């Protein structure tokens, strides 16, 4: 069997290879969804019409290694990832989360309880509630420690997709980029970076609510830049909205430690995973209002307008470096596996 006939690490890395695998293998599983968002949209979650509102649903598994990293752990990640994907669809009040754990035989009880505690803490911060779950145990050597899956649902009267950009719209990122991926990466490789490199992992549903309240219908696209980073989000926005996207590189909020680590490793923070950020597309007239609302929230102090949608070059992402412009290529995948 050739390598092409087998699943590789790149297929889980949030870039083009993963998208292709999903399209080729899984998209056929989803039937049409009337007046809602189904599998074919490949958005952060689904939205199914029920009466006069939508039930939004999302799922993510978490396999991050190491399980505890600067700024968070797999438990906090599992709740934040779920709450944030719901919020990205416009559903900022989670109604119920599921908690499915798969544990390796011999896993320490005490560590399980620490993971549980940080799930609980993230539930508190977001107002989420776990309503059902599942527990499986695999034999020693059959799974590496623990794997978590969370699914969630919420209802909303307005669904925000990732396909709503029009030329002229502004793009806002809710804070500094690349913290999560760089924190996991440097911890895993035992790199010694100066300063405080910490994951941004956090539920941001309340921050997103502030943006939606400020911008109303002028908030037209949202996506959390997890695997594949901000670059992947911008490519999806551009492709689905059929617009070009121009990013102003100088305006990108990047912590000095992340910049340093990126230079050391030769990795652009634009392609590195975040777990407590959103990229938001807003009609130009409301951009400053939304920005101000984000900055007024503790999790949005470093929010910035980073670019705009343009009519030229639909489907492509252009980086304006201040000295010139370059095309941002879509990556095959995040530079390292098991990031989340």
Ligand X SMILES: Nc1ncnc2c1ncn2[C@@H]1O[C@H](COP(=O)(O)OP(=O)(O)OP(=O)(O)O)[C@@H](O)[C@H]1O
Q: How far apart are CA 17 and CA 49, in angstroms?
A: 31
Interface with Mg ion in residues 167-206 (CB under 5 A) = none
Span near ligand X by CB under 6 A; candidates 5-13, 37-45, 182-190, 276-284: 37-45
Question: Which residues does residue 279 pair with via DSSP β-bridges, in sequence order?
Answer: 173, 223
Largest CA distance in the chain: 57
Residue whose CB is less far from a copy of itself, 55 or 284? 55
- Dist CA 73 CA 87 (whole Å): 21
76 near a copy of itself, rule: CB under 8 A? no
Nearer to a copy of itself, 96 or 285 (CB): 96
Q: Which residue among 20, 26, 106, 311 contacts ligand X (CB under 6 A)?
A: 26
Q: Which is nearer to a copy of itself, 53 or 251 (CB)?
A: 53
Structure tokens at 209: 């609510």
Which contiguous run of DSSP H or E holds residue 18? Answer: helix 16-21
- Among 41-49, 206-214, 280-288, 323-331, which window interacts with a copy of itself (CB under 8 A)? 41-49
- C-alpha angle 142-143-144 in degrees, rounded to nearest 5: 130
Q: Nearest-CA neighbor of 293 among 171, 203, 212, 211?
A: 211
Site string for ligand X, 68-97 (x = CB under 6 A): -------------x---x------------
Q: How many CB atoms lie within 10 A of CB 63?
A: 20
Work out how close the CB of 42 gets to ligand X at its nearest, in angstroms, rounded to a whole number.
4
Q: Which residue lies nearer to ligand X by CB, 33 or 284?
A: 33
Q: Is 44 in the site for Mg ion (CB under 5 A)?
A: yes
Least distance to ligand X, CB of residue 332, Å: 14
Rule CB under 8 A: say whether 86 interacts with a copy of itself.
no
Of 22 and 50, which has the nearer Cβ to ligand X? 22
Distance separating the N- and C-terminal Cα atoms of the chain? 29
Nearer to Mg ion, 44 or 249 (CB): 44
Listed ranges 37-45, 174-182, 289-297, 308-316: which one lies at the site for a copy of itself (CB under 8 A): 37-45
| φ, ψ at 297 (rounded to 5°) | -100, 140
Bridge partner list, 137: 103
Check residue 16 for interaction with a copy of itself (CB under 8 A): no
* Rounded Cα gap, residues 157 and 325, in angstroms: 40
Q: Is 134 in the site for ligand X (CB under 6 A)?
A: yes
Closest CA to 219 of 162, 142, 144, 134: 162
**At 89, phi and psi to the nearest 5?**
-95, 0
Question: Binder to ligand X among 101, 177, 252, 305 (CB under 6 A)?
Answer: 101
Single out the segment in contact with ligand X by CB under 6 A; choices: 41-49, 206-214, 257-265, 312-320: 41-49
Residues in contact with 32: Cβ distance below 8 Å, sequence separation at least 6, in sequence order:
38, 40
Residue 275 touches Mg ion, criterion: CB under 5 A: no
Picked from Mg ion, ligand X, a copy of itself, none, the partner binding residue 63 (CB below 5 to 8 A depending on kind) is a copy of itself
Order of strands, sheet of 96-104, starting from the edge strand that comes earlier in the sequence:
46-50, 53-62, 146-156, 96-104, 130-138
Of 43, 73, 85, 169, the one binding Mg ion by CB under 5 A: 85
Query: Least distance in Å: CB of 278 to ligand X?
Result: 11
Instruction: Specify burial of residue 262 (Cβ count, 10 A radius: 0-12, 13-18, 19+).
Output: buried
In whole angstroms, how far apart are CA 7 and each of 10, 25, 49? 8, 11, 35
Residues that bind Mg ion (CB under 5 A): 44, 60, 81, 85, 134, 224
Residues that bind ligand X (CB under 6 A): 14, 22, 26, 29, 39, 42-44, 60, 81, 85, 99, 101, 130, 132-135, 226-227
């Amino acid at each position: 069997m050739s390598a092409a006939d087998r699943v590789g690490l790149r297929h889980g890395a949030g870039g083009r290879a993963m998208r292709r695998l999903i399209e080729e293998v899984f998209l056929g599983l989803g039937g049409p969804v009337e007046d809602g968002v189904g599998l074919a949209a490949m958005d952060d979650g689904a939205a199914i019409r029920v009466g006069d509102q939508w039930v939004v649903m999302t799922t993510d598994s978490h396999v991050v290694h190491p399980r505890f990293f600067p700024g968070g752990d797999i438990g906090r990640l599992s709740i934040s990832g779920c709450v944030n994907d719901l919020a990205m669809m416009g559903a900022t009040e989670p109604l119920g989360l599921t908690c499915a754990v798969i544990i390796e035989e011999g896993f320490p009880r005490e560590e399980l309880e620490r993971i549980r505690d940080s799930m609980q803490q993230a539930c508190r911060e977001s107002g989420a509630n776990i309503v059902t779950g599942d527990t499986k145990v695999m034999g020693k050597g059959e799974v590496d420690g623990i794997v978590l899956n969370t699914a969630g649902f919420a209802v909303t009267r307005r669904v925000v997709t990732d396909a709503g950009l029009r030329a002229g719209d502004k793009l806002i990122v809710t804070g500094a980029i690349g913290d999560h991926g760089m924190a996991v990466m440097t911890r895993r490789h035992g790199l010694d970076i100066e300063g405080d490199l910490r994951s941004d992992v956090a539920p941001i549903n309340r921050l997103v609510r502030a943006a939606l309240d400020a911008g109303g219908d002028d908030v037209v696209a949202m996506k959390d830049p997890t695997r594949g980073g901000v670059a992947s989000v911008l490519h999806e926005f551009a492709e689905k909205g059929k617009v070009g996207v121009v990013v102003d590189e100088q305006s990108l909020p990047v912590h000095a430690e992340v910049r340093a680590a990126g230079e050391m490793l030769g990795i652009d923070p634009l392609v590195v995973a975040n777990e407590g950020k959103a990229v938001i597309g807003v009609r130009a007239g409301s951009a400053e209002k939304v920005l101000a609302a984000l900055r007024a929230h503790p999790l949005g102090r470093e929010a910035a307008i980073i670019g705009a949608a343009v009519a030229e070059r639909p489907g492509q992402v252009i980086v304006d470096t201040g000295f010139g412009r370059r095309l941002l290529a879509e990556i095959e995948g995040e530079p390292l596996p098991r990031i989340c």
